[in-house]
Amino acid sequence: MKSKLFWKEKLRTRYSMNKLIKILIIPFLGLFIQPLNAQTFGLKAGLNMSTMFEKDDQYTYSNNYTYNPGFHIGLTLDIPFNQVISFEPALMFTTKGTKYEISESGIVLNGKANLYYIDVPLNFKLGFKLDRRGSNKVFFTAGPYIGYGITGKLEASVDFNGQSESDSEDVKWGDNAEEDNFKNLDYGMTAGAGIELSALTFGVFYDYGFANISAYQENGLNAQNRVLKISIGYRFNANSKGGHKRGGHKRRRR
């Protein structure tokens, strides 16, 4: 049995498959090359635990979904407005998707959607000093994100009476309900909190997708990404103030 029919029959809605498309050219990339005063560049990476909210007019399919482990990695830029508020855009390569298991009448169905995106979060950050110098801070962040799906894989297996069958196919991205699995465009909100210890950062974040990414939308089918992220980062010029200290240089009195 082909997985295209396999997914649609077992979940009553789902995915048809095959290839990847082009990579997104991000207009926000210009933020990373502007010579802004006091900006801080960084690298961030960590663990993703992703799932989906998925339902139609009759069923909530995501009741059977569990978190699918993955990762994220990318560049960050911190642009301060003052000592507390800053703007932090980022350019990230990140995994999304979900896992599920359904048992019914002796049949056990397992499936996994591994989706890979380029994401651009545009966060505003509040940072509060933990010491006099301000090199250690606790922070809170929130803002919108926009993402673009570039590749992925769907996997499914069924076990019945000791026999198993499995299949996998590449995700097909697009808007065609008959041919495609997911729409490329994703967007939503992200929020998080963490701590900065000099050049190192540690944080926990949650992405809440608003976009209906399912190409197949019959009977009101709606699929939205949900991602929990645990991150560690490094800020390259964290010890540089990027500006003049209050008071500047004083002349010696003769």
Least confident segment among 5-19, 26-40, 93-107, 237-251: 5-19
252 is a domain residue? no
- Confidence grade of residue 239 (pLDDT, cut at 50, 70, 90): low
7 is a domain residue? yes
Q: Show the domain range for 20.
A: 3-235
253 is a domain residue? no
Closest to 3 in 3D by CA, of 15, 21, 19, 20 = 15
| CATH number of 106's domain | 2.40.160.20
Stretch 49-64: mean pLDDT: 94
pLDDT > 50? residue 8 = no
242 is a domain residue? no
How many domains in the chain?
Answer: 1
By three-state DSSP, how is residue 23 classified?
A: coil
63 is a domain residue? yes
247 is a domain residue? no
Tens-place pLDDT, residues 159-193: 887 788 889 999 999 999 999 999 999 999 999 99
Q: What is the pTM of this model?
A: 0.79
Stretch 46-65: mean pLDDT: 95
Rounded-to-integer distance, Cα 125 and Cα 110, Å: 40
Stretch 46-63: mean pLDDT: 95
35 is a domain residue? yes
